[in-house]
Copies of this chain bind each other. A is one copy, B any other.
Amino acid sequence: MKFTVDQIATMIQGAVEGDGTQSITGFDKIEEGKSGSISFLANPKYEAFLYDTDATAVIVSSDLELKSTVKSTLIRVKEPYVAFTVLLQKYQEMMAERETGVQPTAHVASGVQLGKDLFVGHLAFIDAQSSIGNYTSIYNHVSIGKNVHIGDNCIIYPGVVIYKDTIIGNNVIIHANAVIGSDGFGHAPQADGTFKSIPQLGNVVIEDDVSIGSNTTIDRATMGSTIIRKGVKLDNLVQIAHNVEIGANTAIAAQTGISGSTKIGENCLIGGQVGVAGHLSVAPKTIITGRTGVTKSIKQTGQTLGGYPAMNNAEFLKRSALIRRLPELFEQIKNIK
């Protein structure tokens, strides 16, 4: 990109302080700001970097009172972080040269319905009875099974595997090598010690505006559907078992696993490496801190949980502190005796 500071200020409705004619060619964090780049200051913790950065321009708050001189040109806005992300977004849109059409080495089964201005990359595969919406990009090496329906404006990155009967809404992003719709883990132990596998005949339904990370796995339901509601964000290497439902606008960080038939409410925030046992329900707006193990349903909305088995996070932190003091406790008892 190449814009002047003045042009950028116009894009984000900011007021320029300093030389607005300088050129901006990239973005940097303020502590790594280089000449030619634009940065932002939102968190007061980082203010010291403002007086030191080599960034050509810095987006700062309208309210900021400078404590020293700055080399950079400032753009003052109400909310610097929001303005900066708007700028990133505009930049990303400008840079996006979406390819369209079906590449010659892709294999699309006959009868597949293809929307307008979609893209199907090299060596991708789409099986029969499926449909792909308008403006959707199916990248190379993606594998789409039979009777899969994908909406508009989706991006399916390389190597993603989508099993048969999956239904995907609009504006869904699925990152590389994620797997959607593999069999749920249902194996009934038999008297002779072997397992009998329960057929997994359901599917996966992914609603609009969902993002799914790399190498994440979402299993199909035994019957019915595993459901990822509107606006859910899943990080990398997350496991969603069969018949799970993730409520709208819930975010789940990397390496977390949700066991079979559990229902997670709306607007939950779930950290990384969390485990939630099967057949539970978790109330809306629950915050589950990283590495927590949830073994019982959470009925009250808006709690913050920690520990294993999960408890109120403040309680968990207190218990952790007391555990560190156990030697002292044992010592005291010895003395008392």
Contact = CB atoms under 8 A, between A and B. Distances in A.
Interface of A: 27-29, 32, 81, 85, 88-89, 91-92, 103, 105, 107, 121-123, 125, 139-141, 143, 145, 157-159, 161, 163, 173, 175-177, 179, 182-183, 185, 187-188, 193-199, 201, 209, 211, 213-215, 217, 219, 223-224, 231, 233, 235-237, 239, 241, 248-249, 251, 253-255, 257, 259, 266-267, 272-273, 275, 277, 290-291, 293, 308-309, 311, 315, 318-320, 322-327, 329-330, 332-333, 336-337
B293 A293 contact: no
Contact of A215 (B88, B215, B308, B318): B215
Nearest to A195: B233
A326 B319 contact: yes
Contacts of A211: 183, 187, 197
A125 B122 contact: yes
Contact of A143 (B158, B217, B241, B293): B158
B161 A176 contact: yes
19 contacts: A29-B223, A85-B199, A88-B199, A88-B201, A141-B141, A143-B176, A159-B177, A173-B183, A185-B235, A185-B254, A187-B251, A193-B266, A197-B211, A197-B233, A215-B215, A277-B290, A290-B293, A311-B324, A318-B327
Contacts of A105: 105, 107
A131 to B, nearest CB: 18
Contacts of A277: 290
B182 A236 contact: yes
Contact of A163 (B145, B176, B318): B176
Given A290-B275, A323-B319, A253 B193 contact: no
Given A175-B182, A215-B177, A333 B330 contact: no
B324 A179 contact: no
A275 B251 contact: no
Contact of A27 (B28, B177, B201): B201
Contacts of A326: 319, 322-323
A29, A159, A311 — most chain B CB neighbours (10 Å): A159
